[in-house]
Structure 1
């Protein structure tokens, strides 16, 4: 991995509500070098101070708040935590990804938000779930049609698990999207919508092929929910991905 392996902090959202700094310490203690925030507006100065103290980089953040709050206020917080990549992780109606007109509306929204991130020297991105993959338009996944409509500076964070659940040949999709993909969400599990995730390497996902298809992208572990101890799952995920890197 050319960049530090990271964790999307939504994975530990419940623990973050109790003791954010302890969560970050435990993630750093496992060996992760980066974290991806999910709410940059929540005490950005304190968050950044703790991340710096622990040697954690913050290359990216999710920013649902851009869809409902004043963009400058949100992006000031993003600047404080130090992220350069600002990602919309949903919030667009699922049905918009079933037609070209709907996808055009989604692209217009994202391109408009990118004008704000441009002023801050940041890049805007979009994160998929299964509903941008399942619909096909003229043979292409809706996510691919969206990519064609986005301004070149707008990137994608591809969630490899949900792309697979949505029916994609994920390595082929990643190769087609190419340099548009700056980050990957790496997760594992049974490969269906309504079952808990597992540590990366313990499920059915062919993770090595996903990583090989997008070698320059950030690798960010995310487990939406998990039946086992979440820190044990993060530890096992880190060990597995580190072994892949050494192989």
Structure 2
């Protein structure tokens, strides 16, 4: 089976990308990367496409809010545009899959809440198909707090979504949510289109559990892939359907380009990516 393609989530270098889009992409290309995962792209798709083309990069996947009135991030909220606007922008950039990156923790605590999330994403998938696109969902750790009919809210969500809805599993956050990460990767089968390759010291408690208090990404002790607590190697070997191995740091430990290069070296030297 074909190995996944290496990519990097541009949220990892949000400040650098905002300050110098072309220069940042050129640095990623110099590392050896050929793919990125765009973030906050809807307001400037033509500009991003031109910069990607100039750097010899593509963005087969991208993050945009599809299921919430606004997208929460640890560093501020981003308003949610209409789905048609999101998909038109994604098509301009040349994406294949638009992935919703975050749904608020309280919406994962009840069976009705999970069903609503799944129904909304199924509808978004129908609209995306009109643009030649698919949709997906990227987890954090709130999806693993509550049980729904004897299974995690995340497992219930997977059952309720259409087969064409793709999954992007953040391995760091799945472990934070108490999951057996390689087993979860295996269980998702052909639905698992991508994983976020992220490592570090896992928080001692789920920061999105009820009563956990405020959370900011600057509190995370994240490290280069292969040097933290996440069983990345076992997870990457657990499912041969994965198409993209996406490097991400919520809190890069040093120079972000050096950090990306170190994680890319782990993927390449371990034989985990094509």
Normalization by structure 2: what TM-score? 0.85
Task: Tell me whether 1:185 sits opposite 2:196 in the alignment.
Answer: yes
In structure 2, what is the equivalent of residue 69 of structure 1?
A: 81
Structure-2 change in CA distance of 1:216 and 1:161 (3 Å): same
Aligned CA RMSD, in angstroms, stands at 1.8
Task: Tell me whether 1:89 sits opposite 2:131 in the alignment.
Answer: no
Task: Tell me whether 1:235 sits opposite 2:224 in the alignment.
Answer: no
In structure 2, what is the equivalent of residue 80 of structure 1?
A: 92
**Equivalent pair of 2:168/2:194 in contact (CA under 8 Å):** yes
Out of 157, 171, 193, the position equivalent to 1:160 is 171
Higher strand share: 2
Partner of 2:169: helix, strand, or coil?
strand
**Equivalent pair of 1:62/1:88 in contact (CA under 8 Å):** yes
**Equivalent pair of 2:181/2:231 in contact (CA under 8 Å):** no
Task: Tell me whether 1:170 sits opposite 2:181 in the alignment.
Answer: yes
Q: Gapped runs of 5+ residues in structure 1?
A: none
Q: Deviations over 1:193-212 (max 9, x none)?
A: 54231111221212110101
In structure 1, what is the equivalent of residue 131 of structure 2?
A: 120
Normalization by structure 1: what TM-score? 0.94
Task: Tell me whether 1:38 sits opposite 2:36 in the alignment.
Answer: no
Higher helix share: 1
Structure-2 change in CA distance of 1:137 and 1:51 (3 Å): same
Residue 169 of structure 1: how far off its partner (Å): 0.2
Q: Gapped runs of 5+ residues in structure 2?
A: 69-79, 208-218
In structure 2, what is the equivalent of residue 221 of structure 1?
A: 247
Task: Choose 184-193 or 48-57, whichever is displaced more.
Answer: 48-57
Task: Choose 7-16 or 104-113, whichever is displaced more.
Answer: 104-113
Partner of 1:10: helix, strand, or coil?
helix
**Equivalent pair of 1:133/1:142 in contact (CA under 8 Å):** yes
Residue 227 of structure 1: how far off its partner (Å): 2.7
How many Å separate the matches in 2 of 1:16 and 1:152? 34
How many Å separate the matches in 1 of 2:162 and 2:186? 19
How many Å separate the matches in 1 of 2:117 and 2:46? 32
How many Å separate the matches in 2 of 1:191 and 1:166? 10
**Equivalent pair of 1:7/1:36 in contact (CA under 8 Å):** yes
How many corresponding residue pairs?
246
**Equivalent pair of 2:66/2:124 in contact (CA under 8 Å):** no
Out of 175, 179, 199, the position equivalent to 2:224 is 199
